[in-house]
Structure 1
Amino acid sequence: MSAGQVVGPLLDLLLPAVCPACRAQPGPDVCAECHGLLPRLPASCPRCCAPGSEIPCPVCRGNGLAHIASARAGFAYTGTMKRLIGDAKAGARAATVQALAGMLPLPVDAVDAVVAVPPSPGRRPGPHLATACARHAAHRLGVPLIAPLHCVRHASEQHRLSRAERARNVVGLFRCQPGVPPSLLLVDDILTSGATASAAAAELHRAGARCIHASFLCRTPQPGDRPN
């Protein structure tokens, strides 16, 4: 257990709630001023989240992420948002995790349940941001949070790999219990190439899902981004 995972809960008990971004304004949510400075994504493809509103999307050519009907991401993984996510994963105050979870964009279409991309086996204790986001989304949508997906092995860090290497890296990464609802929202914290989400969605399809939407808190910056 890291020092952050010990200190974070103690701070929640001992100190007043403050904005997790500026650590000055009363919290526990991100204050209005900081929220206005977060790197929101501009118009993006509703199938793959690539920047731009051109139809068909020049990146995915209208095909979207494999096995995923629609995809949404709220922010660019940079600046204050990148720092907040780093704090959350390092075991920051629970309020930071909850503040981030509340920023996840929700799908336009109705779903039967919400599923988080699961953590790797042997992950260190502490909050799992994707699961926290999924739990919050399920509450907002009024549907159950289910956990049929399991990560069965460790994978190399995706950000160090090429797009082709990322796709190979996640082959066989997940297993899913059969009998999942037909319409699902799949949640993860960061979208890079989409390989991880597509691998998870493929297993959900094999387990009975027919329509899978995906929501991500952030997307890694891409050429053409001009975050608002």
Structure 2
Amino acid sequence: MGRITTIRRALAEGASPLADLLYPPRCPSCGDAIGAQGGLCAACWSQLVIPGDPSCAACQRPFGDHGPPHGALCGPCLAHPPLHDGIAAGTLYTDVSRKLVLALKHGRRIALAPMLARLIAARIPAADNDRLIIPVPLHRWRLWQRGFNQAALLGRELARAGHGRLVVDGLTRTRATPSLGGMGARARTKVLTGAIAVTRKQSIAGRNVLLVDDVLTSGATTTACVKALKKAGAKTVLVACFARVLDEALDQARQTKRPESEDPGRHVTK
């Protein structure tokens, strides 16, 4: 298996100059020329907001530079303790991260999946390789229309990076659900009740699970997935996403400038 991987890597590297000649590398966010395929230009990279510490011990919600000490819980987690066992978000939801998600999901630029997954992977705590990676499912009609599940693509890249074993059909969406935008918490819960089911209960019981999605907004869909996994006996469920919608944390991050010593070029061409 290692030899096959080496051969594939060598073939890909050999074909890279030809691919760059036919399709010059461009930033998927703004379209500017960049040094290599699969990266961002320096300007767009600087507009990504990476969640940092201090953060909530339960959900990793950033507190800002002057937040509570390590081990503190945020207000939402104190009021309603989460069912999950943590959130690993690659970025906060900004204009740039939104463009990347839309390019992957609706623009069919599936080649973006490795870059997005690398940002997620940087936020995932170390664990044994026995962890299961399960993507948030699409209903079969949505999957048929789109042709792929973006969460599954991200999960595949995380599995390749050694963060667990991908179980692409670990969860299923038993019925089509409408967009949750504009709904209140009670309405979202009602729509999703019974809409997510576990397909392999015997393989999930007692296991650590990495639940993967592209964007985490209200958390209603994620909660429904976590409930199904915990009911099936999952030991822990860590939520991993590329972009997390946290407006208040984003406002705090915008007040802190990125250190001038940081070289964004290190991140955009790998």
- 2:253 is equivalent to residue 227 of structure 1: yes
Alignment of 1:76-155 (within 5 A): 76-105=92-121, 106-110=123-127, 112-123=131-142, 124-146=145-167, 147-155=169-177
Preserved contact between residue 78 and residue 221 of structure 1 (Cα < 8 Å): no
Q: What residue number does 1:28 align with?
A: 37
How far, CA to CA, are the matches of 2:81 and 2:90 in structure 1? 17
- Assess, with a 3 A threshold, how the Cα gap between structure 1 residues 222 and 180 changes in structure 2: closer, same or farther: farther
Preserved contact between residue 114 and residue 145 of structure 1 (Cα < 8 Å): yes
| 1:105-138 deviation line (CA, Å, top 9, x unaligned) | 4431525211000112201133422111111111
Secondary structure at 1:197 match in 2:
helix
Preserved contact between residue 59 and residue 85 of structure 2 (Cα < 8 Å): no
Give the stretch that moved more between structures: 150-159 or 32-41. Answer: 32-41
How far, CA to CA, are the matches of 1:95 and 1:128 in structure 2? 13
- Assess, with a 3 A threshold, how the Cα gap between structure 1 residues 100 and 142 changes in structure 2: closer, same or farther: closer
Unaligned runs of 5+ in 2: 1-18, 255-270
Deviation at 1:32, TM superposition (A): 5.6
Match of 1:40 among 50, 55, 59: 50
Secondary structure at 2:120 match in 1:
coil
Unaligned runs of 5+ in 1: 1-10
Deviation at 1:49, TM superposition (A): 4.2
How far, CA to CA, are the matches of 1:37 and 1:222 in structure 2? 15
How far, CA to CA, are the matches of 1:57 and 1:94 in structure 2? 35
Preserved contact between residue 20 and residue 28 of structure 1 (Cα < 8 Å): no
Q: What residue number does 1:199 align with?
A: 224
How far, CA to CA, are the matches of 1:144 and 1:13 in structure 2? 36
Q: CA RMSD in A?
A: 2.6
Preserved contact between residue 209 and residue 236 of structure 2 (Cα < 8 Å): yes
Secondary structure at 2:194 match in 1:
coil
Deviation at 1:72, TM superposition (A): 1.9
Preserved contact between residue 114 and residue 187 of structure 1 (Cα < 8 Å): yes
| 1:79-99 deviation line (CA, Å, top 9, x unaligned) | 111011111111343322332
Preserved contact between residue 159 and residue 192 of structure 1 (Cα < 8 Å): no
How far, CA to CA, are the matches of 1:45 and 1:142 in structure 2? 23
Largest Rg, 1 or 2: 2
Preserved contact between residue 57 and residue 73 of structure 2 (Cα < 8 Å): no
Q: What residue number does 1:179 align with?
A: 202
TM-score, structure 2 normalization: 0.71
How far, CA to CA, are the matches of 1:46 and 1:227 in structure 2? 19
Question: Could you tell me the percent identity over the aligned residues?
Answer: 26
How far, CA to CA, are the matches of 2:91 and 2:163 in structure 1? 24
The structure richer in helix per residue is 2
- 2:241 is equivalent to residue 216 of structure 1: yes
Secondary structure at 2:225 match in 1:
helix
